[in-house]
Amino acid sequence: MILQLREHSQNIFFKLLLGFIAITFVISFGIGSFFGDRKDVLAVINSEELLLPEYQRFYSQQLQGFRNRFGPNADQLAEQLNLRQQALQQLISQYLWADEAEKSGILLTDLELQDYIKQQPYFQIDGHFDSDTYQQILKQNRLLVNEYEDELRVNLLSEKYQNSLLSGIIVSDAEVDRVYRNENEKIIVDYLYFDPEEFISQVNYEEGDLEKFYKENPKSFVQPKQFKIEYFSLTLDQFKKNADPKEREITRYYEKNIEDYTTPPEVKARHILIKTDSEMEDEERNVRRKQIEDILNQLKEGADFEELAQQHSEDFSKDNGGDLGWFKPGEMVSGFETAAFALKAGELSDIVETPFGLHIIRVDEKKERTVQSLEEAKSDIVEVLKEARAEKKLDLEYSRLEQRMKDENNLSAIAESFDTSTKQTDFFDKDSTNLELGSVDALVKQLIFQKEGDYGRLKRNPVQGYLFYKILEMKEASTKPFEQVKEKVLESVKQMKAAELASEIAQKEVDNLVKGKSLETIADSYETLEVKETSLTSTADSIEGIGRDPEFKKKVLELNESKKVGGSQYQGKVYLFALKGRELPKDEDSVLGKERIRQQLIQQLRQVFIDNEMKRIRETASIEILNPFFKEETPGT
């Protein structure tokens, strides 16, 4: 049953639902324009009306979550996943859950609702619920109190009912152990690799083998489409010589970007940390404060800071005597940073409390804030401004020249107007590397969509230069003549036959391995073979010393006490192997690992159960979509 449920949990809808549609309902962000502001009924679910404004708020919250997670691509992705429809179905499900809860006698009291609202941090000031803040936030989001609380009640009642259904779900220890072993057991094997390269000297072939291979593999000997072009390029350097900035520009740039010429203060410090946290009992907190007070007293009496840090500090720096190195403002937690920068070199702080715990800080060195003068920065600023001007001019010419090339139909004359000249290439293709043009990959991707006589341009980086060209000739892709590629054919035939020979020899040795012959004995029969060790787990994608080899992995995972040896072949790589042992993580690691797996299995089962239960509820529910925008594409109605 568990395996079936887990399999169900891997379907695409389930992943999208978990990955993109959050169940939690919070204050939303305003809908945008595509629905307008009409307060009409969007749907009727078992006689309960779902109003358009409620949907608008919910959809807006989901969309904002997308934007936070996926940035500029969020709106397009939301459209592809039909987020509008998914948000509607999510709300319909909440109404159905709430209806089921009422049928089952499960209620949400006013006190439970109030407690939930009071616990939300965005309604609190200094950790306490503030009624004015509550009212203000609702008003800012164009929400009436009764609207928000009614919608929240549906959501919480839905959640409460689901939790009541799921309270009895458990996962057996046997299932946890099975999954844990499957994911974490390391299988150790000795292996031999029959490298085809080592058998090339034993390969025999005839001239007919070469011709046959050439005819059967024409795609291996294709001459890609070739091009010959006339071209010139424009670079930043060609425009920088006439791009000198004026003095007022230099001054204005310096003043606007003064922080770029400012070196912030730095502190080199050590600390001793005694950890505390917000959940710690007062008694334990007092013990730890007494501990750091004792350390501070020892330091004041002349004790060695580094020795005490090594003995008592509770963070990564302890092994280095508490050394935190150099840091600037903004690189440390607020309270720590304030205390550190207030100290002089050699000074010791009092006890400083931060979210990490209690600190004693000693500043070893300090560097004060420095500002480079305008004269000192001038040469750098001139270079920046010249480059910016030149790039702007280069981009302007790039846009102008597209039409100019077509109008004038004289690339050489256009090049001369920029004090440069055109060049002609020999024929080249996508694999050519010996051209003055440098990499031609991007250029060829353009050229294949053009024809002889066409003009074109390619925006490369400004230093390399923007390219302007005319296509002089083209040659279509063709199969290279046999004589031209004979050496390549010969090499391919040798590789193929060597792989066949390696496979043939390895297969014979598999039989010997099964009969009891050891890998070491087999290796001694060949000069180049060496027994090596590797290990893998069922979840490993790559195998140490071997790389990605799904056939090797599959065959090794099949090994057991009754089948301790085997062989594999994948993409010309041939192996023999023998089971050496199995290992599981240490006991302390396995406890944490099994608990993680238990929680994952429970979560999967809970989600599958909820999905199946909702499917059952929808089969008997009355769901009427009134808004025509959703009506045609709404599933489950």
Q: What is the pLDDT of residue 589?
A: 64
Q: Measuring CA to CA, which residue among 187, 183, 185 is closest to residue 601?
A: 183
pLDDT at 22 over 50: no
Q: What is the pLDDT of residue 631?
A: 67
pLDDT at 637 over 60: no
Q: What is the pLDDT of residue 465?
A: 87
Residues 207-265: tens digit of each pLDDT = 899 999 999 999 999 999 999 999 999 999 999 988 999 999 999 999 999 988 999 99
The lowest-confidence range among 137-141, 317-321, 363-367, 516-520 is 137-141
Please tell me the distance from the alpha carbon of residue 487 to that of residue 214, in angstroms, as a whole number: 11
pLDDT at 31 over 60: no
Residue 609 is encoded by which pair of tokens? 């159960």
Q: What is the pLDDT of residue 25?
A: 35
Q: What is the DSSP letter of 332?
A: S
> What is the share, in percent, of the chain residues with pLDDT greater than 70?
92
pLDDT at 29 over 80: no
Q: What is the pLDDT of residue 632?
A: 53
C-beta of residue 292 within 8 angstroms of C-beta of residue 358: yes
- Give, in words, the CATH class of 2-169+601-631: mainly alpha
* Residue 588: pLDDT band with limits 50, 70, 90: low
Average pLDDT, the chain: 86
The lowest-confidence range among 95-99, 417-421, 431-435, 561-565 is 431-435
C-beta of residue 526 within 8 angstroms of C-beta of residue 535: no
Please tell me the distance from the alpha carbon of residue 601 to that of residue 467, in angstroms, as a whole number: 58
Q: What is the pLDDT of residue 599?
A: 86
pLDDT at 53 over 90: no
Q: What is the 3-state secondary structure (H, E, C) of 514-570?
A: HCCCCHHHHHHCCCCCCCEEEEECCCCCCECCCECCHHHHHHHHCCECCECEEEEEE
Residue carrying structure tokens 């006013």: 110
Tell how strand 323-327 and strand 266-275 pair up. Answer: antiparallel
Between CA 443 and CA 450, with CA 447 as vertex, the angle to 5 degrees is 155
State the fold for domain 265-368: Chitinase A; domain 3 (3.10.50)
pLDDT at 535 over 90: yes
- pTM for the model: 0.47
Q: What is the DSSP letter of 37?
A: S
- How far apart are the two ends of the chain, measured CA to CA in Å? 29
DSSP per-residue string spanning 581-633: EEE---HHHHHHHHHHHHHHHHHHHHHHHHHHHHHHHHHH--EEE--HHHHTT
Which CA distances in Å does 449 have to 454, 462, 474, 499, 555? 10, 24, 12, 40, 47
* Residue 16: pLDDT band with limits 50, 70, 90: very low
Residues 593-615: tens digit of each pLDDT = 778 888 888 888 888 888 898 99
pLDDT at 7 over 70: no
> What is the share, in percent, of the chain residues with pLDDT greater than 90?
50
Long-range contacts at 453-457 (CB < 8 A, ≥ 24 apart): 455/402, 455/405, 455/406, 455/411, 457/398, 457/401, 457/402, 457/405
C-beta of residue 498 within 8 angstroms of C-beta of residue 199: yes
Highest mean pLDDT: which of 11-20, 167-176, 446-455?
446-455
For 598, other C-beta atoms within 10 Å of its C-beta total 18
The lowest-confidence range among 434-443, 518-527, 549-558 is 434-443
Please tell me the distance from the alpha carbon of residue 538 to that of residue 181, in angstroms, as a whole number: 9
Q: What is the pLDDT of residue 34?
A: 38
Q: What is the pLDDT of residue 572?
A: 83
Q: Measuring CA to CA, which residue among 557, 539, 555, 611 is closest to residue 179?
A: 539
pLDDT at 379 over 60: yes
pLDDT at 145 over 90: no
Q: What is the pLDDT of residue 3?
A: 38
Higher local confidence (pLDDT), 127 or 636: 127
